[in-house]
Amino acid sequence: MEKLLIVDDNNDIRKQLKWGLSKDYTVLSAGNAKEALAFFRKHQPKVVVLDLGLPPHESESAEGFRCLEEILADAPNTKVIIITGNDERKTTLKAVQMGAYDFYQKPVNLDELKVIINRAFHLYNIEEENLRLHLALDSKTTELGGMFGQCSEMLKVFSTIRKVASSDVSVLIVGDSGTGKELAARAIHSMSLRKDGPFVPINCGAIPESLLESELFGHEKGAFTGAHTQLQGKFEYAHKGTLFLDEIGELPANLQVKLLRFLQEKTIQRVGGREDIYVDARIIAATNIEISKAIQEGKFREDLYYRIGVITLNLPKLSQRKGDIMLLSNLFLRKFSAEFGKKIKGFSASAVELLESYNWPGNVRELENRIQRAVIMSESSIIEPHDLGFTEKPARQKVTFQNGMTLKEARDKVEKEMIISAVERHNGNIAKAAVELGISRPTLYDLMRKHGI
């Protein structure tokens, strides 16, 4: 049977609960925090029923809070149910904010408490199974060159990379900003016969046109004002390796000609030089513009396009990778939690809903930045929508009543609006919403089902 720990300084209550629950659970009981923590660490029960008023100061909650904190520090997934009095609303809210699963107000009704305990065990077991499945899924997740994905679109990308890596043809990577074009280029290089050679990236759109030619092809001493020494360009640095030309659609027309000559003859000339220099480098280019449109507008050479695009690799937008959003979110969460020393377990239901429904105009880069922000800003063990920097939903309109509405209909309407508002204010955290409404979590779930929320 499942193990259940009862922590209460009242011996009669401990006996009552043990008698009433022993048919369903292996019940352990403790009358103080020291004894409770010893039992907990030895037996690791999934669910704990905890009265905050523990000795030596039964009229206060400090010892109970310490016990709660240590239990959750040892095993964050433990479901701790707080037993509370009617006048302890603030104390109850604090316990829930610290990570308590639920609360139950005295006097204890055994049948009602059984429902809460049963749900706590059920939720614990579901979460445990989900974790097992996530770990199994992670072990099957396709990873290539720092890119992760399991959706069909990314599996096609990985397959194409593996096929083209062993050849030496030029590759054009097409995709929106933030989709991982440089990662794809590095993956191709790392799997190619040139993997021991240099990988040299250059962003053609980030360097002024007046300097770009010298950056790419190098220059001779005295080629222009300020050229005090001979300088090798990116092409020569990429000898025996791979040259990655990002944002190639921004390449000026005169440099498009020089690049075409290199692709045809494998030679370059430095600025101010006349000597042909042989360079053995593979070209991988990338763009986030529509090349065919640029060709029609005369901004990009068609013959160059056919040279650099022997193989075209299309990277999908993050919004097209629905199966990967939470996979990437959890990977980034683990990465940044470790980096910043935070103990964050995961995302709230409302945060997951936003992550999966958001359009992601900045793609994977935006997702990574939002998760990093969330880890830094979060003050709890669960990421909420406001941690991610999403704007708040518009305020709900006030309840309006129609003529002829019965008292029951009006009451139901107010009840539904109050529940929706409370749940939204707490970003989907049912336990916190229940505390605000002054009802138990099971009661709130029942009311939500009643109103179709």
- The DSSP line for 216-284 is HH-B-TTSSTT--S-B--HHHHTTTEEEEEETGGG--HHHHHHHHHHHHHSEE--BT----EE--EEEE
Cα–Cα distance for residue pair 256/264, rounded to 1 Å: 12
pLDDT of residue 446: 76
Nearest to 34 by CA among 19, 61, 55, 10: 55
- Tens of pLDDT, residue by residue over 251-296, are 999 999 999 999 999 999 999 888 999 999 999 999 999 998 999 9
pLDDT of residue 396: 43
* Angle in degrees, 0-180, between the axes of helices 441-451 and 407-425, rounded to the nearest 10: 120
Q: Is the pLDDT of residue 170 over 50?
A: yes
Amino acid at 210: S
Cα–Cα distance for residue pair 294/11, rounded to 1 Å: 81
pLDDT of residue 35: 94
pLDDT of residue 244: 97
Which ranges in the chain are annotated with CATH 3.40.50.2300?
3-138
Q: How confident is the model at residue 392 (pLDDT cuts 50, 70, 90)?
A: very low
Q: How confident is the model at residue 298 (pLDDT cuts 50, 70, 90)?
A: very high
pLDDT of residue 132: 64
Nearest to 187 by CA among 225, 147, 150: 147
Question: How large is the average pLDDT for residues 42-57?
Answer: 91
Q: State pTM to two decimals.
A: 0.57
The region of weakest confidence among 220-224, 238-242, 292-296, 440-444 is 440-444
pLDDT of residue 393: 46
Note whether 426 and 437 are within 8 A (CB).
no
Q: How confident is the model at residue 143 (pLDDT cuts 50, 70, 90)?
A: confident
358 — alpha (psi -120 to 50), left (phi > 0) or beta? Answer: beta
Note whether 65 and 98 are within 8 A (CB).
yes
Question: How large is the average pLDDT for residues 31-40?
Answer: 94
Question: How large is the average pLDDT for residues 71-92?
Answer: 82
- Tell me if residue 425 falls in helix, strand or coil: helix
Cα–Cα distance for residue pair 262/285, rounded to 1 Å: 14
Question: How large is the average pLDDT for residues 373-399?
Answer: 74
* CB-facing half-sphere around the CA of 33: CA atoms within 13 A: 18
- Tens of pLDDT, residue by residue over 436-445, are 777 777 778 7
pLDDT of residue 397: 41
How many helices (H) and strands (E) the chain has is answered by: 18, 16
| CATH assignment of 407-451, among 1.10.3470, 1.10.10, 1.20.1070, 1.10.260 | 1.10.10
- Tens of pLDDT, residue by residue over 180-195, are 999 999 999 999 999 9
Q: Is the pLDDT of residue 208 over 80?
A: yes
Greatest mean pLDDT range, 116-125, 131-140, 255-264? 255-264
The residue written with tokens 């993956």 in the block is 187
Fold of 148-316: Rossmann fold (3.40.50)
pLDDT of residue 227: 78
pLDDT higher for 150 or 265? 265
- Tell me if residue 42 falls in helix, strand or coil: helix
* CB-facing half-sphere around the CA of 267: CA atoms within 13 A: 8
pLDDT of residue 377: 92
Which ranges in the chain are annotated with CATH 3.40.50.300?
148-316
319-388: what CATH class?
mainly alpha
| CATH assignment of 3-138, among 3.40.50.2300, 3.30.1490.20, 3.40.630.30, 2.30.110.10 | 3.40.50.2300
Q: Chain-wide mean pLDDT for the chain? A: 87
Which ranges in the chain are annotated with CATH 1.10.10?
407-451
Strands 142-144 and 147-149: antiparallel
pLDDT of residue 80: 94
Which ranges in the chain are annotated with CATH 1.10.8.60?
319-388
Question: How large is the average pLDDT for residues 217-231?
Answer: 83
Burial class (CB in 10 A: 0-12, 13-18, 19+), 206: exposed
Q: How confident is the model at residue 98 (pLDDT cuts 50, 70, 90)?
A: confident
pLDDT of residue 394: 32
pLDDT of residue 133: 55
Note whether 52 and 84 are within 8 A (CB).
yes
Note whether 263 and 310 are within 8 A (CB).
no
pLDDT higher for 152 or 222? 152
Percentage of the chain lying above the pLDDT 70 cut? 93
